[in-house]
Amino acid sequence: MDLGIKKIISGLVKDPSKVITIADAWITASNPTKPQKELAEARWNICIQCPEFRAKRDITGDPYCNDCGCPLQKKIFSKTFNECPLGKWREVDEALWPSTQKNKKTIL
């Protein structure tokens, strides 16, 4: 089994609440708001310069994080503040994450 997928499964066994976080990121990635897209792009720019970045998973061919095993094209849409396992998203999340928390259906 691919090492990245093994990491995801062992992480879910240790912390089943992550299932909701991961599912939410996948849903957000399918139809992001403009602020969510901007935050994801900023996170992506950090990931591609990170030593833990892997461009192609053996089985699925998608980019993933070698530290947590997560698929990065989905993880970057996480609604959790600074979800990066090494805390590398903190600076961009401090700048952009708050705007993703606004309800897009309000006028304020």
Q: How far is the CB of 102 from ligand SF4 (least distance, A)?
A: 24
Q: Do the Cβ atoms of 29 and 77 come closer than 8 Å?
A: yes
Which positions touch ligand SF4 (CB under 6 A)? 46-47, 50, 52-53, 65, 67, 84-86, 88
Q: Do the Cβ atoms of 74 and 22 come closer than 8 Å?
A: yes
Q: How far is the CB of 17 from ligand SF4 (least distance, A)?
A: 18
Q: Could you please report the per-residue DSSP string of 26-72?
A: HHHHHS--HHHHHHHHHHHHHHTTSTTEES--TTT---EETTT--BH
User: Of 87 and 98, which CB lies nearer to ligand SF4 in the complex structure?
Assistant: 87
User: Of 47 and 96, which CB lies nearer to ligand SF4 in the complex structure?
Assistant: 47
Q: How far is the CB of 82 from ligand SF4 (least distance, A)?
A: 9
User: Of 24 and 67, which CB lies nearer to ligand SF4 in the complex structure?
Assistant: 67
Backbone angles phi, psi at 68, to 5 degrees: -105, -15
Q: How far is the CB of 61 from ligand SF4 (least distance, A)?
A: 17
